[in-house]
Amino acid sequence: MPRAEFHRFDPRRRPAAEPAPRREPPLRHEPTRGWLPPGLRVYAVGDIHGRLDLLDALLERIRADAENMERGGRFRLVFLGDYVDRGSQSRAVLERLMSTPLPDFETTFLRGNHEATMLQFLDDLMAGPGWLTFGGVNTLLSYGVRPPVDIPPRLRMAAVQQQLHESLPRSHLAFLRSLAPYAMIGTYLFVHAGIRPGVALEAQREDDLVWIRDDFLRSQTDHGVIVVHGHTIAMKAESLNNRIGIDTGAYATGRLTAVVLEANGRRFLDTAS
């Protein structure tokens, strides 16, 4: 990954008539604190997993919440991945995300392990059985693909792969391939699963960014950034010193969660409140 860069501001004295200089983010030798540039509010959304109903409900709450921002403020929307599988509306979720969810927001889409595995299956039959067992069947059904039962089992996976190639719109494939592995805003690192503790940001493996669990979740290390992630389900959002977890199992619980970050504060919105 590229080295994380924080904004640096001109330290020279400004004329009295100008606004006061913006505060710089905390120094790296101090404990990392949440910081965003003044006037910016970030909404990060957890794992959607084929629940269009919850996505629409949360986007409406985000839109309403943004109305209390002072005039001139800027908004950024970050989706942390896992848009497909498990729920029944994967295709519709992708269509919604591709249609500019909130027009006045700068939007970033990250790659989750489910998107990574779906793309892998399109090129590699060996990825098929694993993908189908953790929710891929529901994605296939949303695209009108039904595993054939009238051919020998050893040929079925190739038939499914071919049907998916034929049914997946090119725009959806391009969207899936365009998903970013991470986003860095202020002192927050947005990523699907987490990072490998003790490894420099520029040396992180993409496989860890979309799959890691225990080594990251157990770590109390100051990573030099606050990691905002999904991937690992908790009954409610996790708000810790070094990470913020917002996968609340939407496909099963009905609770899709977003964290709202502004200046050095954090709060949460969800569809179950």
| Residue 111 belongs to domain spanning | 40-181+253-270
Say which CATH number the domain at 57 has: 3.60.21
- Number of domains present in the structure of the chain: 1
Which residue has 């069947």 as its token pair? Answer: 137
Query: Residue 71: which of 41, 100, 28, 31 has the closest Cα?
Result: 41
Residue range 196-254, pLDDT digits in tens: 999 998 999 999 999 999 999 999 999 999 999 999 999 999 999 999 999 999 999 99
- CA 150 to chain CA mean position, Å: 39
Q: Is the pTM of this model over 0.75?
A: yes
Say if 169 falls within a structural domain. Answer: yes
Report if residue 79 sits inside a domain.
Answer: yes
- The candidate with the shortest Cα–Cα distance to 231, out of 87, 109, 48, is 48
Q: How many CA atoms lie within 13 A of 195 on its CB side?
A: 29
29-43, 53-67, 176-190, range with the lowest pLDDT = 29-43
Domain presence at residue 62: yes
11: in domain: no
Is 94 part of any domain?
A: yes
In a domain, 258, yes or no: yes
- The pLDDT, as a whole number, for residue 15 is 36
The Cα 106–Cα 186 span in angstroms is: 15
Q: Which helix (H) or strand (E) is 59 found in, with range? A: helix 52-66
| Structural domain contains residue 227 | no
The pLDDT tens digits for 182-206 are 999 999 999 999 999 999 989 999 9
Query: What is the Cα–Cα distance from 31 to 242, expressed in whole angstroms?
Result: 9
In a domain, 260, yes or no: yes
